[in-house]
Amino acid sequence: MIYRITLAFLLSAFTITSVVAAPSIQARRGLVVSANTISSEIGVDIMKQGGNAMDAAVATAFALAVTHPTAGNIGGGGFLVYRPDKGAPITYDFREMAPASAFPEMWLVDGEYNFEKHHLSHWSVGVPGTVAGLYLAWEDHGTLPWKDLVQPAINLAKGGIEVSTHLAESLQKALPRMQDYPASLKKFTTDGIPFEPGHLWKQSDLAASLRRIANSGPNGFYKGKTAELIVADMKANDGLITLEDLANYRAKKRQPVFGNYRGYKIISMPPPSSGGTILIEMLNILEGFPLADYGSGSADTLHLMTEAMRRAFEDRARYLGDPDYDESIPLDRLLSKSHADSLRTTINLNKASASQPPSVNQQKESPETTHFSIVDQHRNAVALTYTLEFSYGSGIVAPGTGFLLNNEMGDFNAGPGITTDQGLIGTPSNLAGPSKRMLSSMTPTILEKDDQLFMVTGTPGGRTIINTVMQTIINVVDYGMNAQEAVDAGRIHHQWLPDQLNYENGRFPEEILNELRERGHLLKAQNSQGVAEVIINNIEADILKGGVDQRIPDGGAGIW
């Protein structure tokens, strides 16, 4: 069967400077919003068969491993926030782990930092977590058989999907990085010739790997043939991952971090994701300002957002890492209203602060991630963000496996004491170590209003993730936007260092940008920021409303 990618909702490229009224996608019984329409529809089909939001999340995630290879994966990792209609929310940490042989100085060659080794080698591959994380979440909350949830992805891989224009263009850009890996070229080309739009792309090796997962759960990935193929490729290329590393991987359940913003309860991801903590810290700071009075996209609002970002990202760099390795993370203080109160007093409404010299800085984090949001008929909700790190991860496909391996080890800091004004960091909280999880910015988030589900949000985008998620929340809570408007609105990003304010080109009036410059902000235009996928639960009407981000064109919704 040929699967054609059709958009359930299409918006023209946004080039205007103000938000216009845009209808949200509406559904009554269930809604999936993801970076690929086919995968969203598979998630909804699972719910129509009697599955819940968690079942749909598992099926959607595996489908994205077939349809969205830039970030959909079984060779990477991520985070999931689950809010059941009844019971307590919980989060699942399936972040990649460092091999047991990892050490803080591993990115140095003759005492000098080596980018290639850190990001583009077999050393850059972390032990994947996706399969273990999806299985653990399904064990706790799924209702349909595991095999039935993986089967749609097997069908996609075996039967083939039609390559879209966007996917063909994306692959063309990625192929030069895969030239040294024959199995990668075999997967993503026809005898070395890049796929053209409309090509029927079958992935037999991936189908076989998925079938082992369907039949044996995590043991079909972390043990047996798949594990042996991964390790054989590691041995052939001076890689570090061993059979023991794979067998010892464990996903973890963690308690969410909670916040409150203008009466809305925030439920988000704790460390080793920095996302939830920094999101709540920024919202706590901004809660003390009348953003609704200042107006969406005003100079005052953008200035205050920037200053909140600046302060929270400094805390991120100084304090956050893997909590299993660092018990001194001051989580309660960072999440507290009192900490936000003290930071707020340092903000001058009329003048930009100066980020301090880079005694601390932040490691580069790739924007190529993917997020999806799901709500079922009972209003169980899943926010899931996962990634390979770079677009197409390491670019490495271990022969016979059919899937890309991540390069998430690049999210560890460069080395002890190594700090530059371009983004390297040498603080100990996020240095590589045996079986350690690298710090992330992924921020899958759910909001409640009066103890009922209100909003599910998240996005890819590397370190911009946290700021994009914050802006979707403010767009809805402070400015009353619907889900699509909240997704479409222009975005900004500041991460403390480098000291610059990035903004989406063409989405803000020049007079506003000039006013920000006059206040002392160093501005830099960017084409786009993030790909948010948002669901809002209209509690009174009992209708779900979705916003699909068309900053990349293959996204769509599955509607029930």
Rounded CA-CA distance 340/360 in Å is 21
pLDDT digits over 160-205, tens only? 999 999 999 999 999 999 999 999 999 999 999 999 999 999 999 9
Mean pLDDT of the 483-491 span: 98
Pick the closest to residue 117 from 381, 410, 325, 321 (CA basis): 410
pLDDT band at 6 (very low <50, low <70, confident <90, very high): very low
| 425: three-class secondary structure by DSSP | coil
Pick from 333, 326, 347, 318: nearest CA to 281: 333
Average pLDDT (40-64) is 98
pTM of the model: 0.94
Check if the beta carbon of residue 476 is closer than 8 Å to that of residue 535.
Answer: no
Phi and psi of 372, rounded to 5°?
-140, 155
Question: What is the average pLDDT across 105-133?
Answer: 96
Domain ranges of the chain: 1-560
Among residues of the chain, what percentage have pLDDT more than 70?
Answer: 92
Cross-strand pairs, 3:
161
Task: Give tens-digit pLDDT for 200-246.
Answer: 999 999 999 999 999 999 999 999 999 999 999 999 999 999 999 99
User: 548: which strand partners?
Assistant: 533
**Per-residue three-class SS string for 488-546:** HCCCEECCCCCCCEEEECCCCCHHHHHHHHHCCCCEEEECCCCCCEEEEEECCCCEEEE
pLDDT at 428: 74
Q: What is the mean pLDDT of residues 278-304?
A: 98
Beta strands in 413-494 (DSSP E): 445-449, 452-457, 492-493
pLDDT for the residue numbered 2? 34
DSSP 95-123: --B--TT--TTTTEETTEE-HHHHHSSGG
Residue 267 is predicted with a pLDDT of: 99
Cβ 365 vs Cβ 166: under 8 Å: no
277: Cβ contacts below 8 Å, ≥ 6 apart: 257, 268, 270, 271, 316, 320, 331, 334, 335
- Mean pLDDT on 17-27: 67
Lowest mean pLDDT among 22-31, 95-104, 177-186, 254-263: 22-31
Please say whether the dihedral angle defined by the alpha carbons of residues 129, 135, 140 and 142, taken in this order, is positive or negative.
positive
Question: In this structure, which amino acid lies at residue 505?
Answer: N
Q: What is the pLDDT of residues 334-392, one digit of tens each?
A: 999 999 999 999 999 999 999 975 544 445 566 679 999 999 999 999 999 999 999 99
Radius of gyration of the CA atoms of the chain, in A: 22
Q: How far is CA 37 from CA 299, 379, 435, 558, in A?
A: 36, 21, 36, 7
- For residue 178, the 8-state DSSP code is G
Top-ranked range on mean pLDDT: pick from 2-6, 7-11, 143-147: 143-147
Q: How far apart are CA 171 and CA 174, in angstroms?
A: 5
Can you say how many angstroms the Cα of residue 507 is from the centroid of all Cα atoms in its chain?
23
Q: Which of 277-286, 311-320, 436-445, 478-487 has the lowest mean pLDDT?
A: 311-320
At which residue do the structure tokens 């001058």 appear? 348
Mean per-residue pLDDT, 48-54:
98
Instruction: State how far the Cα of 190 lies from the Cα of 200, in Å rounded to an integer.
Output: 11
The pLDDT confidence band at residue 417, using thresholds 50, 70 and 90, is low
Query: How far is Cα 58 from Cα 43, in angstroms, rounded to an integer?
Result: 8
Q: With 70 as the cut, is the pLDDT of residue 19 above it?
A: no
Outline where DSSP puts E strands in 199-333: 200-201, 252-254, 257-261, 264-268
Distance, CA of 337 to CA of 282 (rounded, Å): 10
The pLDDT of residue 427: 59
The secondary structure element, H or E, covering residue 25 is: strand 25-27
- Give 232's Cβ-side CA count (13 Å radius): 12
Q: What is the dihedral of CA 320, 325, 329, 332, to 10 degrees?
A: 110
Structural tokens at position 81 = 């926030």
Separation CA 267–CA 242 (nearest Å): 36
List the one residue out of 321, 302, 326, 340 whose CA is nearest residue 467.
302
Catalytic annotation on 369?
Answer: yes
In the numeric block, the tokens 């984090």 are attached to 365
Which pLDDT band, with edges at 50, 70 and 90, does 271 fall under?
A: very high
Q: Is the pLDDT of residue 269 over 60?
A: yes
Specify whether the CB–CB gap between 453 and 375 falls below 8 A: yes
Q: What is the pLDDT of residue 414?
A: 84
Residues 62, 43: Cα–Cα separation, whole Å: 10
What is the average per-residue pLDDT within 511-523? 98
Q: What is the pLDDT of residue 318?
A: 87
Catalytic: which of 67, 70, 242, 369? 369
CA 34 to CA 66: how far, in whole Å? 14
Distances (CA, A) of 499 to 54, 181, 310, 471, 479: 40, 38, 8, 20, 28
Question: How many contiguous H segments (helices) and E segments (strands) does the chain have?
Answer: 19, 23
Contact present, 57 and 376 (Cβ < 8 Å): no
